[in-house]
Amino acid sequence: MLFAAIRGPTLTQRACSACFSSTTRSYAFIAPTSSFRRGTRSPLAQQLIVTRARLIDPPESAILIQPSLSSSSITHPLGEIPVFDTIAAFREWRKEITRQNKTVGFVPTMGALHDGHLGLVQTARQECDAVVVSIFVNPAQFAPHEDLDQYPRTFDTDYASLVATKACSAILLPKVSEMYPAGITLDRTQQRGAFVEVVGLSHQMEGIPRPHFFRGVATIVTKLFNIVQPDRAYFGQKDAQQCAVLRAMIRDLLLPIKMRAVPTSRETDGLAMSSRNRYLTPEMRSVATLLYRAISAAKENIVEHGAYEREEILKPAFAIIEQVAKDVKAKGLPFEVRLDYLSLVDVETLSELQQLGKTQAAVLSGAVYVGTTRLIDNVLINTEEL
């Protein structure tokens, strides 16, 4: 078990006095494995190990946890929102919410929260009595060559952000070992156990470069739905295909959940908010709006100029991306801009359209690489919500 060297006045250190305030409470220490530099056990960590009454197995991202106030929950040092790192503990809390006849909204995340995530939480709170946020970096939606190990894990800042919303009722922070009892490997051919796949909506668009992705998403969301038992679930429109896949899954598995696809949150210049935006250098960030500008130009071609043939609709989008790629190369910048795909699909079937009907609801989407960072985005045609 690896413990991080802890420096500076972090939330972890500020929790120390609380952790020794009582000898009758149980103590939990979860070692940071990614948010901090890996190293030897710090004196603080050693003290906690000696003093604690129990040790929680470290999940993918983890922090020091304040003494638990009951056997069914653990609480972060700020003491504002209960944090549950076991399914059994969370279910005890959920039973109490059921007894109080409260509705539950659910926002599943992989952490590294930004204003888009927080907007989902606030929307959920407007519509539900209690809001649960899960933070789980799901191995099943990463391929062996993708960035699972590098994916940002920032629980301290995530927690502070959720507290600031005054909208989150509980945080579910499950362990990989509980979510995948049979174990999980990134090699799909070697995976064992039960998985969920939504046939017909998972192979196109994002499913072409990432054929494993939606199987992993559908599986983990099904598991989380089984744990949380929400009345409503909230997802961002930026992940349009994911919304379509999950809506179909909810319908076909007869789940008693109402799903909301909330409009994409954007920076002031139009860039869709994403946890991966933090990978962009300032030079990369200066050109990162190219995809939004491209698909917006394609939409304008429909709305303002009456384009309905696929080639005609997408022509200005291809031109913008090609021009930005040329400009980056001409300036000698230390990265490349590369188009992955542009797509125009029916909003329900996700079938690629060669012609767009005058009132046909569609999704105009794409993906580009800015350096090694892959950005996705979409705009809706003839509809307000997925």
Report the catalytic residues.
117
| Cα–Cα nearest to 113, from 177, 175, 171, 28 | 171
Q: Under a CB-based contact definition with an 8 Å cutoff, are residues 227 and 172 in contact?
A: yes
- 130-135 and 73-75 as β-strands: parallel, antiparallel, unpaired? unpaired
Provide the residue count of the chain.
386
Give the span between the Cα atoms of 136 and 118, in whole angstroms.
16
Q: Under a CB-based contact definition with an 8 Å cutoff, are residues 43 and 135 in contact?
A: no
Count the Cβ atoms, other than its own, within 10 Å of residue 298: 24
Q: Residue 183's beta-bridge partner residues?
A: none
374 in helix, strand or coil? Answer: strand
* Tokens matching residue 284: 């990369």
Q: Under a CB-based contact definition with an 8 Å cutoff, are residues 230 and 264 in contact?
A: no
| Strands in the chain per DSSP E | 3-4, 26-29, 38-39, 64-70, 73-75, 82-84, 104-109, 130-135, 170-172, 232-236, 258-262, 337-346, 362-370, 373-381
Consecutive H or E run containing 133 = strand 130-135
C-alpha distances in Å from residue 148, one per residue of 112, 151, 262: 13, 5, 26
